């Protein structure tokens, strides 16, 4: 069942492919030297280790994030005011708590109240963080940001589906994203984003994750449905979700799993056909093993000839992130499979810590934000060095200014050209605008993550953004500060113009169109 999806070329080249991949673990890579993320690699070393991104290495790629006029000068004043207001509300924890209480309350069961709330959300947070409700609105958004020098990462933002009928509908939405990407100007769309929770029932993802975890604990545990994959776990991975041997998948569950695979394969085939890269988003650790399984089994089939079509996502706030990234990349590289990754910090800090504590285990998340930052920077360094050696691709999705500066400097130090298609920076639409413009101004490729879809269907995404990002927004006020300075500059300019016009001897003053 597994090998029928593999190319003859791959099977002939690696006769022990199935056995090797299905048994790959930290133990099977015991010959690999321990990671040393501070050691400077030898220039010609094939298996060199990543160097840490060092603050003092910033030389020729320091980003200019102080010139508010250059960063925000192209944004109309009304849009700037709206953005500043939305960021201010999103940074107010009491407001966010109140909004989340309303959205999760029984008030939403009353049609009049629900309609009023959704209308309010649509003209505030939805408008700020999302690209629209329809493909037409998303296309307009892509064109607008492309005019400003950015690319779009299109995501049909539905998730957590419970039945096959819903999964089929969501697949059509994702296929529509690929069609949309194909119809837009060349290079204006960098990726289409897929959520496995949208095309595979959430309950089945939990079952598959349990079975994969148990097989990692007990390699003799046979999974008849399992396709070839790359390493999913490391010895430091959290396995506490599965404390007892799970029951095998039922015939119905196996059938549903096959249907989910077929949906993903159909999406991958469409991406190959239209030459659009596909990134699989990460979720929480209870279902992430199944998502990695889907991602890596698809990457084995479709990533060929130094052209990664299927990208995985690594969440650097997890303690096992570096080790898993290293193992997966090394295994894929040894098999001639190009891998691309999107690096993020993580999105489920509160729920992950609560669950681990409830079960009596340490959190799978780093104990401090400093450790998370260090892990992210190390993972970024590792992937940049692979790219410099001609292998793989990476999307550095970060809102952290220092990480952006360090990675930009590291890329320059390694001789990675700023237009290199294997390196992309990315930020969420409506967030970290100063960093996005700063990276763009420095010559790097920058994408904005563009979720779209009906407001009520995108609501889970918006709620998660509110929960996850309020700390970020309240502690990282760079955008708000710079937007405020730019608005003050324009107000002063307007006041000066009015004063000059009121004076009989005033000179003619030309006012910009901001």
Task: Encode pLDDT of 462-481 as tens digits.
Answer: 777 666 655 554 445 777 78
User: Which pairs from 111-117 meet CB under 8 Å and 24+ separation?
Assistant: none
The domain made up of 133-451 has a fold known as TIM Barrel (3.20.20)
The CA distances from residue 148 to 73, 145, 431, 436, 441, in Å, are: 11, 5, 15, 10, 10
- Taking 70 as the pLDDT cut, the residues of the chain under it are 1-62, 465-476, 503-514
| Burial zone of 185 (CB within 10 Å; 0-12 exposed, 13-18 middle, 19+ buried) | exposed
Distance between CA atoms of 56 and 445, rounded to whole angstroms? Answer: 24
pLDDT, position 149: 94
pLDDT, position 6: 43
Radius of gyration, alpha carbons of the chain: 24
Is 431 within 8 Å of 410 (Cβ atoms)? Answer: no
Distance between CA atoms of 339 and 261, rounded to whole angstroms? Answer: 19
Q: How far is Cα of residue 439 from the mean position of the Cα atoms in its chain?
A: 17
Residue 251: count other Cβ atoms within 10 Å of its Cβ.
Answer: 8
What are φ and ψ of residue 24, in 5° steps? -65, 135
Averaged pLDDT score across all residues of the chain: 83
pLDDT, position 402: 92
Angle at 31 between CA 30 and CA 36, to 5 degrees: 90
Judged by DSSP in three states, 284 sits in coil
| N- to C-terminal Cα separation, the chain | 60
**What is the DSSP pairing of strand 393-397 with strand 340-344?**
parallel
Query: What number of CA atoms fall less than 13 Å from residue 460's CA on the CB side?
Result: 12
The CA distances from residue 77 to 122, 127, 198, 217, in Å, are: 20, 16, 37, 58
Is 243 within 8 Å of 271 (Cβ atoms)? Answer: no
Distance between CA atoms of 469 and 461, rounded to whole angstroms? Answer: 12
Hey, what's the torsion of the CAs at 264, 160, 117, 120, to 10 degrees?
-40
pLDDT, position 53: 55
Judged by DSSP in three states, 446 sits in strand
Is 386 within 8 Å of 306 (Cβ atoms)? Answer: no
Give the residue among 155, 132, 156 at the shortest CA–CA distance from 144. Answer: 132
Distance between CA atoms of 280 and 296, rounded to whole angstroms? Answer: 10
Distance between CA atoms of 410 and 85, rounded to whole angstroms? Answer: 35
For the stretch 310-320, what's the b/e string if a residue is b when 16 or more beta carbons lie within 10 angstroms of its beta carbon? bbbbbbbbbbb
Can you name the residues that pair with 396 across neighbouring β-strands?
Answer: 343, 425
pLDDT, position 5: 41
The CA distances from residue 272 to 61, 80, 310, 328, 387, in Å, are: 34, 38, 9, 22, 22
């Amino acid at each position: 069942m597994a090998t029928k999806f593999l190319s003859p070329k791959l099977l002939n080249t690696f006769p022990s492919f199935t056995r090797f991949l299905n048994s790959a673990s930290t133990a099977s890579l015991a010959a690999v030297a321990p990671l040393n993320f501070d050691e400077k690699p030898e220039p010609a070393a094939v298996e060199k280790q990543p160097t840490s991104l060092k603050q003092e290495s910033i030389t020729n790629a320091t980003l200019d994030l102080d010139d508010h006029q250059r960063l925000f000068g192209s944004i109309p004043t009304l849009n700037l005011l709206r953005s500043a207001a939305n960021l201010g509300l999103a940074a107010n924890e009491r407001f966010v708590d109140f909004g989340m209480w309303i959205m999760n309350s029984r008030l939403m069961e009353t049609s009049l109240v629900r309609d009023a709330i959704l209308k309010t959300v649509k003209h505030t947070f939805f408008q700020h963080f999302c690209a629209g409700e329809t493909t037409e609105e998303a296309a307009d958004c892509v064109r607008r940001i492309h005019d400003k020098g950015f690319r779009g990462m299109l995501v049909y933002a539905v998730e957590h589906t419970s039945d096959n009928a819903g999964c089929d509908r969501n697949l059509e939405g994702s296929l529509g994203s690929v069609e949309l990407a194909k119809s837009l100007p060349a290079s204006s769309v960098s990726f289409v984003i897929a959520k496995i929770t949208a095309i595979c029932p959430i309950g089945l993802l939990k079952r598959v994750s349990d079975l994969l975890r148990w097989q990692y604990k007990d390699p003799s545990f046979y999974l008849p449905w399992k396709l070839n994959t790359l390493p999913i776990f490391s010895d430091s991975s959290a396995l506490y979700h599965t404390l007892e041997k799970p029951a095998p998948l039922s015939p119905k569950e196996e059938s549903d799993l096959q249907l989910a695979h077929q949906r993903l394969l159909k999406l991958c085939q469409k991406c190959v056909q239209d030459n659009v890269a596909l990134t699989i988003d990460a979720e929480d650790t209870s279902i992430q093993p199944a998502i990695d399984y889907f991602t890596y089994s698809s990457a084995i089939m479709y990533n060929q000839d130094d052209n990664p079509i299927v990208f995985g996502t690594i969440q650097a706030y997890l303690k096992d992130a570096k080790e898993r990234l290293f193992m997966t990349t090394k295994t894929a590289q040894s098999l001639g499979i190009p891998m691309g990754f999107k690096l993020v910090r993580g999105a489920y800090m509160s729920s992950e810590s609560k669950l681990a504590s409830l079960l009596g285990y340490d959190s799978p998340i780093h104990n401090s934000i400093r450790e998370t930052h260090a892990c992210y920077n190390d993972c970024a360094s590792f992937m940049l060095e692979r790219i410099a050696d001609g292998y793989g691709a990476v999307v550095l999705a970060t809102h952290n200014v220092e990480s952006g500066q360090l990675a930009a400097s590291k890329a320059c130090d390694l001789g990675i050209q700023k237009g290199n298609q294997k390196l992309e920076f990315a930020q969420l639409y409506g967030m970290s605008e100063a960093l996005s413009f700063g990276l763009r101004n420095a010559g790097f490729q920058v994408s904005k993550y563009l979720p779209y879809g009906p407001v009520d269907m995108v609501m889970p995404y918006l709620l998660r953004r509110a929960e996850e990002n309020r700390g970020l927004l309240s502690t990282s006020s760079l955008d708000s500060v710079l937007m405020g300075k730019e608005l003050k500059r324009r107000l002063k300019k307007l006041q000066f113009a009015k004063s000059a016009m009121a004076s009989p001897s005033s000179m003619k003053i030309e006012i910009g169109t901001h």
